[in-house]
Amino acid sequence: MSTTTQSRQDVIDELVEIQSQILELVEQARGLLRRNGLHGALMRAESYWIAHITTAVTNDHGYLGKSMVSLQDTIDEIEEGEDDDTAED
């Protein structure tokens, strides 16, 4: 089986695009609940899964907590060249 690897910048660019898509979908879900008057469901979603997804994906949010390692942390790690295969050895 042949494996093709991408450049670090290609990986970063793709992860940034995925991050953007995830955040857009969270906003779509939030809007769907709001537009349909599902305020109780929206409040619960904001308190649980919207907060969890948002903090797992980005460090730029208004929530008090944060993820131990967010997608943004992973992007930053790759950009800074901190990821190497010897860390597991």
pLDDT for res 72: 95
* 2 token code pair: 């042949």
Helix (H) or strand (E) holding 21: helix 8-35
**Is residue 81 within 8 Å of residue 67, measured between CB atoms?**
no
**Is residue 49 within 8 Å of residue 36, measured between CB atoms?**
no
Tell whether pTM > 0.85.
Answer: no
The domains of the chain are located at 8-80
pLDDT for res 59: 87
DSSP 59: S
**Is residue 78 within 8 Å of residue 14, measured between CB atoms?**
no
- pLDDT tens over the chain, length 89 residues: 556 788 999 999 999 999 999 999 999 999 999 999 999 999 999 999 999 999 999 987 776 677 889 999 999 999 999 766 644 44
